Amino acid sequence: MNTFQVSQNKLKQYISHKDDNIKNTIIKLNNVYGLFQIILDSNNKLVGTLTDGDIRRGILKGHDINGKVELFMNKNPIFSFEDKEKDNIMLLTSIEREPFFLPILKNNKKLLTLLIKDENKSIPQAIIMAGGLGSRLGELTKYTPKPMLKFKGKPILEYCIKLLEAEGIKEIYISVNYLAEKIIKYIEERKSKSKIILVHENNKLGTIGSLSLISKNITGPILVMNADLLTNVSLEAMISFHLNGKFSSTIASVTYESNIPCGVLNFNQIGCLEAIDEKPTISYAVAGGIYILNKEIYDLLEYNKYYNMPDLLNEAVKKNYTNSLFPIHENWKDIGRPEDYNEK
């Protein structure tokens, strides 16, 4: 564990104000170590803190992503004062949830400096599910496996691998089945930062069944990713969210909106009209194709048996495991249908 004090010339990078737009603050937060901001009021006094987890929990609560920081921030932050120097390190080390930081204030509650504890937690292993037929894409996948379809000159699979490598994941498994030889050839010729291990599905195993083939090699939580995604989601934030929350599984979610083209009738139990909603938009949280699973979850899989992810997670719910949503507010695209795919 290393503890360091943020230098004065970098301190501004960690400061936002409660009336700032949350989208602009997200950009700022994503560019600093630890993914957090110290929130001040108009008098530059501490009124809160903001972490990536605070933002995603706010989205789950229905807060407007175009709103102000004040809606999302933690209004009861842990802090200390400049005259308690001897106690500050002890207070910082007692913080149990990432990111580990402690604002140090002047006696007038204005920010003096910032202490950070560097104790990066990560997940060393991931699996990319690349064995599917991609049948919904029709002719596009007749001779090319879906993960090898190109976007801006590179296979979609390449973007998935790079996202995992950027997070520092040491060991990446890739499950293959349909037109496996094309994926194998690409991986063999690729210069990889991480160790890449191919997992061969000798028969169709569904969207998660191939995980059973490597479960004995997994040392802890594993990150599972579909091979047809284009996203810049923060895996660092997702891993921190999962480990801090001590969840059994964490499911990346995206918002799907359905527009109803006519008036919706709301009525009571005896059939009397209460209100009409004209052409409402209904929002749903849908699976975003990225998951973190603990051992108690993937141990539910039978070896080499066909299994889809919804079946596994429904079984986890029945067993009362804690399964949390991690809302994606970053760019995200699933290449599932011909209209979703654009090579450029």
| pLDDT tens track for 259-292 | 999 999 999 999 999 999 999 999 899 999 999 9
* Percent of the chain whose predicted confidence (pLDDT) is above 90: 84
Averaged confidence pLDDT in the chain = 94
Spatial contact of 157 and 226, defined as CB atoms under 8 Å apart: no
- For 27, the token pair is 């950009």
Is the model's pLDDT at 120 over the cut of 70? no
Q: Residues 24-56: pLDDT tens digits?
A: 999 999 999 989 999 999 999 999 999 999 999
- For 232, the token pair is 């810049």
Q: Check residue 290 and give its pLDDT.
A: 98
Q: Residues 59-117: pLDDT tens digits?
A: 999 999 999 999 999 999 999 998 887 788 889 888 888 889 999 999 999 999 999 98
Give the Å distances, CA to CA, from 307 to 139, 204, 208, 278, 327.
26, 9, 6, 41, 24
Q: Check residue 46 and give its pLDDT.
A: 97
Domain locations in the chain as residue ranges: 2-118, 125-340
**Complete DSSP assignment for 162-191:** HHHHHTT--EEEEEE-TTHHHHHHHHHHS-
Is the model's pLDDT at 19 over the cut of 60? yes
Does this model's pTM top 0.85? My answer is yes
Is the model's pLDDT at 321 over the cut of 90? yes
Fold of the domain spanning 125-340: Spore Coat Polysaccharide Biosynthesis Protein SpsA; Chain A (3.90.550)
Q: Check residue 344 and give its pLDDT.
A: 62
SS3 259: strand
Domain 2-118 identical in fold to domain 125-340: no
What's the pLDDT band for 3 if we cut at 50, 70, 90?
confident
- For 81, the token pair is 């004062």
Is the model's pLDDT at 330 over the cut of 90? yes
Count of other CB atoms within 10 angstroms of residue 334: 16
Cα–Cα nearest to 220, from 194, 196, 193, 246: 246
Q: Residues 205-233: pLDDT tens digits?
A: 999 999 999 999 998 999 999 999 999 99
For 2-118, CATH number?
3.10.580.10
